[in-house]
Amino acid sequence: MHQYQDASAVARALAPDEPVILNRSHAAARAARFFATKFPGKALYAVKANPSPDLVRILWDNGISHYDVASIAEVRMVRGVLPEAVLCFMHPVKTASAIREAYFQHGVRTFSLDTREELEKILAATAGPDGAYATDLRLCVRLRVSSEYSELSLASKFGVDLADAGPLLQVTRQVADWLGVCFHVGSQAMTPFAYVQALERARAAIADAGVVIDMIDVGGGFPSSYPGMEPPPLEDYFAVIHRHFEALPIAYNAELWCEPGRALSAEYNSLLVKVEKRRGAELYINDGAYGALYDAAHIAWRFPVRHVARESSNDNAALGGTVSSEVQGFSFYGPTCDDADFMEGPFMLPAGIKPGDWIEIGMLGAYGAAMRTAFNGFGASQAVTVTDEPMASLYTGRKDPRVSDNVVSLR
């Protein structure tokens, strides 16, 4: 994979007409080391956030040994890349064939569930030829908890209600070699208190069940930094989680787990797109709602942006000079023929931006490239490596000095 200094260097070298994914391996490695050394337990990478085999390998090389897989395709991919990794099938609703393949072919022993029916499915799918239940299952009962402190709710689809958790924990304890309690506070939790509330619910469920618990999994929700969403330091989350974990009525040697997805992958990718047309404050670009900008379109997520001009104000200067110091808010239209391919923004960019210029859209490593489709014949993109810092980082102690809110021009 070709390596460049930054988005401006990519534009200068390639003058791309198609979107270009910019990978920052050093940023993903730094995030992995942060979780591996500072979280007071075990961090599992939530593969769905970005299933890039290259990223999975980078995380492994920097201390992430466990992976939260949510489909048999993810199981196969991670096992193919990392034969020694520990895979945990944490989707609460799985097909029997997926469970069977994961257990017998890929060595998966950890499964999550939130109903008695799912427990029975797991037991049947992992039973031996004689019908005897497996004796090495590590089972995690998922609780439903509040997502009120997160930007994206995950409270409605999965999780057993507190009133029903006790009986499910009791029956699962009878067949599990190792029993865990897991939950998810929602994506982009903006305060550590989200985990306090969830852990208190776990406490109530454990007390009601009266069973020995071997693991608490606080799930994902660890945030990244976006325009208008600057969270507290991750160390604050870790400290609060550890303090409340220590006070739970669990086994003396119980483990603490978490499942970061966004926090490990967001800084890994950005995207270089080209402006094809301008209509007032609307820019037509070559990626959009059916590509890496799904979240910008469907949940109005504001990603940081920087302008990369085709020409400099100095005729002898390199590509990437500033067009104008005045900025304004723009919305984007993507490349397809669909009116829904629209990103309202506002994305703050120089007022003089014009067709033929490029825009770098940052912090797209989580749920960006992973969401791309080939709708309407679009979706092709090249990937290159860049060595500069991401537009914002929770791991360097600073924001990129070139960024003000979500606007910057590359010089």
Mean pLDDT of all residues in 36-57: 97
Share of the chain above pLDDT 90, in %: 83
Q: Write out the residue limits of the CATH 2.40.37.10 domain(s) in the chain.
A: 3-22+267-386
How, if at all, do strands 20-23 and 269-279 pair? antiparallel
pLDDT the model gives residue 411: 34
The pLDDT confidence band at residue 348, using thresholds 50, 70 and 90, is very high
What secondary structure letter does DSSP report for 229?
Answer: B
d(CA 202, CA 143): 7
What is the SS3 assignment for 212? coil
pLDDT the model gives residue 154: 77
pLDDT the model gives residue 378: 80
Within 10 angstroms of residue 105's Cβ, the number of other Cβ atoms is 12
Within 10 angstroms of residue 205's Cβ, the number of other Cβ atoms is 24
What is the SS3 assignment for 213? coil
Following CA atoms 317, 319, 325, 330 in sequence, which dihedral angle do they give, to the nearest 10 degrees?
170
Q: Comparing 238 with 372, which gets the higher pLDDT?
A: 238
Judged against a pLDDT cut of 70, whether residue 317 lies above it is answered with: no
Q: CATH number of the domain at 25-265, please?
A: 3.20.20.10
d(CA 97, CA 87): 17
Q: Write out the residue limits of the CATH 3.20.20.10 domain(s) in the chain.
A: 25-265
Average pLDDT, the chain: 91
pLDDT in tens, 94-138: 999 999 999 999 999 999 999 999 999 999 999 999 999 999 999
Mean pLDDT of all residues in 328-350: 94
Judged against a pLDDT cut of 60, whether residue 1 lies above it is answered with: yes
DSSP letters for 76-135: HHHHHH-TT-EEEE--SS--HHHHHHHHHHH---EEEESSHHHHHHHHHHT--TT-PPPS
Judged against a pLDDT cut of 80, whether residue 408 lies above it is answered with: no
Q: Which of 57, 11, 3, 4 shows the shortest CA–CA distance to 321?
A: 11
34-38, 228-232, 325-329: range with highest mean pLDDT: 34-38
Q: Which of 365, 343, 344, 362 shows the shortest CA–CA distance to 410?
A: 362
1: Cα within 13 Å, side-chain hemisphere? 14
**Number of DSSP helices (H) and strands (E) in the chain, helices first:** 11, 19
Mean pLDDT of all residues in 287-312: 89
Judged against a pLDDT cut of 50, whether residue 84 lies above it is answered with: yes
Judged against a pLDDT cut of 60, whether residue 169 lies above it is answered with: yes
pLDDT in tens, 350-399: 999 999 999 999 999 999 988 888 888 888 789 999 999 999 999 986 54
To the question of domain 3-22+267-386 being in CATH 2.40.37.10, the answer is yes
